[in-house]
Amino acid sequence: MSQEFSLDQATREWIQHEIADVFTRLRPPTTGRKHAAPRLAPPEYFDGISPDFEQWKSDVQVYVAGLDKDAAISAVLGLIRGTNVNRWKRNLTQDKFVANGNSWNYTDIAAFWAELTTKFRPINYVNDAIIALDQIHMGSRRAEDFIDKW
């Protein structure tokens, strides 16, 4: 013999709310990304005097792509270390890190990259580029001679 139970409207709503609450708590947290970031090997550490700053910067920008501003800045600063940059890094952290908000005081990641580039780009990068162009060869001749004859 079966019995039929009839629940009132308030009880049905309460049960539905509890079920929805359980599903919400069991759902895995989302990070805001649609896809997981690829696992890349971290770039080399930057010591503040390496002549390859631009290459290091490009490698790091690829490495931190997809991270939010604060996570990206923290990751970049984690890849800068050495006796030549420790004081600068400590001063930057004291000046720009907001501890109670656990965030960096930059409007966006581009502002951080601009400050980093201003600090570490080689001073004579234009002269370095001119010297590199002068040293290009086509076969056994300088590139300039090759182009003039061509």
Span 86-103, pLDDT tens digits = 999 999 999 999 888 888
132 inside domain: no
94 inside domain: yes
pLDDT at 8: 85
pLDDT tens, 42-71? 889 998 877 788 889 999 999 998 889 999
Mean pLDDT of 4-33: 76
91 inside domain: yes
pLDDT at 29: 59
Q: How many domains is the chain partitioned into structurally?
A: 1
Higher model confidence: residue 48 or residue 30? 48
111 inside domain: yes
Higher model confidence: residue 63 or residue 33? 63
pLDDT at 135: 72
Domain boundaries, position 113: 53-117
89 inside domain: yes
14 inside domain: no
The whole-chain average pLDDT of the chain stands at 81
Neighbours of 105 (CB within 10 A): 12
> Containing H/E element for 139?
none
84 inside domain: yes
104 inside domain: yes
